[in-house]
Amino acid sequence: RAEIAPGAVHVPGWLDSPRQHQLVQACRDWARTGEMERVRLPGGGLLSVRTLCLGLRWRPYRYTGEPVQPLPDWLAELGRTAVADTLGGSIDPDVALVNFYDDAAKMGMHQDRDERSAAPVVSLSLGDACVFRFGNSQTRARPWRDVRLESGDLFVFGGPSRRAFHGVCRILPGTGPQGLLKGRLNITLRESGQGL
């Protein structure tokens, strides 16, 4: 357990192996019903990551009203447990974003500002490791810290870290648990604040 910055807690290996397999299987099921798609930015660019939304559809830079698959109660409960285990307090997540990274995918430095709630965000990593860059709340430039996120890791971002710039610099192919998945999945649980 490491506090990377105030409100940013990294717990390596928080998910045991059966749990990781259960989550990957759930992602496969969701991907069959919904679409894992490369999201288009208003400027025309395409993200290299493939995203699937549960609960509410997310598009840069908003949550839309279009229906998507529901967020299962067991997944919201896992998010509540994650916050209770780290920062303490409670969340009531209504959205999960599932991001899939192939070997070449990455995510540039950005802030998550589309939620109207100040609640912490819960991040769960599965499959290949990545170099995750955790920056500051003022600028997308330095100072930042690079952290290796491995399969099973939990990261919770709350308080002063909720608005920090962050990104995924690269995937480390072949570093995930044998037989779990090729590539990397990241599940974030969020309170959209829609309807608050």
How far is Cα 182 from Cα 144, in angstroms, rounded to an integer?
Answer: 28
How far is Cα 5 from Cα 164, in angstroms, rounded to an integer?
Answer: 10
Contacts of 37 by beta carbon, 8 Å cutoff, 6+ apart: 50, 51, 52
The answer to the question of residue 85 lying near Fe ion (CB under 5 A) is no
Work out what residue 107 binds among Fe ion, ligand MD3, none; the CB cut-off runs from 5 to 8 Å by kind: ligand MD3
Q: Among residues 22 and 148, whose Cβ is nearest to Fe ion?
A: 148
Q: Which stretch binds Fe ion (CB under 5 A): 5-13, 86-94, 111-119, 140-148?
A: 111-119
Work out what residue 27 binds among Fe ion, ligand MD3, none; the CB cut-off runs from 5 to 8 Å by kind: none
CA proximity to 162, closest of 129, 187, 130, 190? 190
The answer to the question of residue 114 lying near Fe ion (CB under 5 A) is no
Q: Among residues 102 and 112, whose Cβ is nearest to Fe ion?
A: 112
Pairing of strands 2-5, 8-11: antiparallel
Shortest Cβ distance from residue 111 to ligand MD3 (Å)? 7
Q: Cα torsion at 107, 57, 163, 139 (round to 10°)?
A: 40
- Please select the residue that binds Fe ion; options are 85, 102, 112, 114, rule is CB under 5 A: 112
Q: Among residues 68 and 107, whose Cβ is nearest to ligand MD3?
A: 107
Work out what residue 133 binds among ligand MD3, Fe ion, none; the CB cut-off runs from 5 to 8 Å by kind: none
CA proximity to 2, closest of 155, 133, 128? 155
Binding stretches for ligand MD3 (CB under 6 A)? 97, 99, 107, 112, 121, 123, 155, 157, 161-162, 164, 166, 168, 186, 188
CA proximity to 186, closest of 118, 107, 71, 93? 107
Q: 62 is written with which tokens?
A: 């908003």
Shortest Cβ distance from residue 121 to ligand MD3 (Å)? 4
Work out what residue 119 binds among ligand MD3, Fe ion, none; the CB cut-off runs from 5 to 8 Å by kind: none
Whether residue 102 contacts residue 159, with contact meaning beta carbons closer than 8 Å, is answered with no
Q: Among residues 21 and 106, whose Cβ is nearest to Fe ion?
A: 106
Work out what residue 136 binds among ligand MD3, Fe ion, none; the CB cut-off runs from 5 to 8 Å by kind: none
State how far the alpha carbon of 145 is from the alpha carbons of 91, 132, 135, 185, in Å: 26, 8, 6, 21
- Can you give the binding site for Fe ion, defined by CB under 5 A? 112
